[in-house]
Amino acid sequence: MKKRTDCRVCGSNDLRIIYDFGQQPLAGEFPSEPESIRQARRLPLELAQCDVCGLLQVINLPPIEDVFHDNYRYSSSTVPALVNHFTAYAGWLAERLPRGASILEFGCNDGVLLSQLIKMGFSCVGVDASDNVTELARAKGVEVHTAFMNETLVKEKNLERKFDLVTCSNVLAHIDDLHSVLKSVRLALKPNGLFMIEVHAADALVRDMQFETVYHEHQSYYTKLTLRRMIESGGFAFEECVNTPMHGGGLRLVCRRADSKLKGGGAPKYNRTERVDGLRFAAVIERCADDIRRAADQYGPLDGYGAAGRAQMFVNMTRTADCFVQVFDDSPLRQGRYIVGTDVPIRPFSNKNGKAVIILAWNYAPSIADRIRDHYQETLTVLPQRTVW
């Protein structure tokens, strides 16, 4: 495992550790055997902030092949709320692009966005690093390259200056060498082409102390200012940045390929008001653990719903695996597996009745609660606060 000592955006060595989460498993691992048979790898997990540019970042980096591979267990089209999000995003893009515009999406996953844009008449190409999800995208009629987004790919596939728009959703969080990716985006864009980015909002993470979204695969967490500083340093001109509800709070940034690297840019320089107090994480983790244990004391062993990466981290960070009988998930890629680091099985929801269920995918709680609440005496979330649905 590599440990960064410099900021991945500005290169400063002035990194301040905000919180040490200790030894944690990889959130993207969904083992086929329980922890009692095969123990999961646990790696150091530290969240830091750069005191020069303000970027929040995880500094403990597992090998990239341990994160993105042909056994990747995240398929966007299995999450109804994400399908709705990308349907709306496709319409939003269509309103801002000329008819028939050329679009490249990297980190396209199973083609949930591009398949809709193709139906709207756009010329689309996808890039994703995981074989199994690119096969799902190809089955939808999307042209996809199984690779990482870099200059070599753009040149080898003859993608230079071909696109009116390059976009990525929830991808920049996973990338260590950000400047290399920004160079490849500039290379793929036509002069004055658009680059549109979606990321989880660090402001929402800090406001709600969303500790379970901090994991090795999520290497960077952006505010409007840190995102703008990064893209301007990479040769893009900022146009707008709006908030979205995605993943419990997201950002959508629009920028344009500039003729040359911007000197200074337009974003204000980092100041101490952007400093994050990481000590609050410990208090929220303890409060969530107490909420889970009180529910288990009241109702007996609990069911969970939603086995995303953040749910795996929640169970491990709160050390509440012993409170859960099972966690339901709608993705066939996860069903039949186990919550990493535990003996808790992941199963499809079978309309069973029970006493209490914890919606671990709390960012999708309204739609999940509508489907399952009639099957339980109590349907709960504990983040951002304890809520009965």
Look up the CATH number of the domain holding residue 379: 3.40.50.720
266: confidence class by pLDDT, cuts 50, 70, 90: confident
Q: Residue 71: pLDDT above 70?
A: no
Q: Is there a single domain that holds both residue 326 and residue 381? A: yes
Least confident of 85-99, 158-172, 254-268: 254-268
Assigned domain for 19 exists: no
Q: Is there a single domain that holds both residue 260 and residue 162? A: yes
Residue 179 belongs to what domain range? 148-274
Last residue of a domain, one of 274, 303, 326: 274
Q: Residue 2: pLDDT above 60?
A: yes
Q: Is there a single domain that holds both residue 158 and residue 213? A: yes
Assigned domain for 125 exists: no
Which CATH number do you get for residue 186? 3.40.50.150
77: confidence class by pLDDT, cuts 50, 70, 90: confident
Q: Is there a single domain that holds both residue 293 and residue 255? A: no
Q: Is there a single domain that holds both residue 247 and residue 284? A: no
Last residue of a domain, one of 259, 274, 289: 274
Assigned domain for 183 exists: yes
80: confidence class by pLDDT, cuts 50, 70, 90: confident
* HEC sequence for the chain: CEECCCCCCCCCCCEEEEEEEEEECCCCCCCCCCCCCCCCCCEEEEEEEECCCCCEEECEECCHHHCCCCCCCCCHHHCHHHHHHHHHHHHHHHCCCCCCCEEEEECCCCCCCHHHHHHCCCEEEEEECCHHHHHHHHHCCCEEEECCCCHHHHHHCCCCCCEEEEEEECCHHHCCCHHHHHHHHHHHEEEEEEEEEEEEEHHHHHHHCCHHHCCCCCCEEECHHHHHHHHHHCCEEEEEEEEECHHHCEEEEEEEECCCCCCCCCCCCCCHHHCCCCCHHHHHHHHHHHHHHHHHHHHCCEEEECCCHHHHHHHHHHCCHHHEEEEECCCCCCCCCECCCCCCEEECCCCCCEEEEEECCHHHHHHHHHHHHHHEEEEEECCCCCEEC
Q: Is there a single domain that holds both residue 300 and residue 258? A: no
Q: Residue 51: pLDDT above 80?
A: yes
Identify the pLDDT of residue 297.
98
Q: Is there a single domain that holds both residue 300 and residue 224? A: no
Tokens coding 301: 């062993």
- pLDDT tens string 81-117: 788 999 999 999 999 999 999 999 999 999 999 999 9
- Tell if the pTM clears 0.85, that is, is over it: yes
- pLDDT tens string 9-23: 999 999 999 999 999
> Which of 62-71, 124-133, 315-324: highest mean pLDDT?
315-324
Identify the pLDDT of residue 102.
98
The rounded mean pLDDT for the chain is 92
Q: Is there a single domain that holds both residue 203 and residue 317? A: no
Identify the pLDDT of residue 68.
62
Domain count, the chain: 2
Last residue of a domain, one of 241, 259, 274: 274
67: confidence class by pLDDT, cuts 50, 70, 90: low
Percentage of the chain with pLDDT > 90? 83
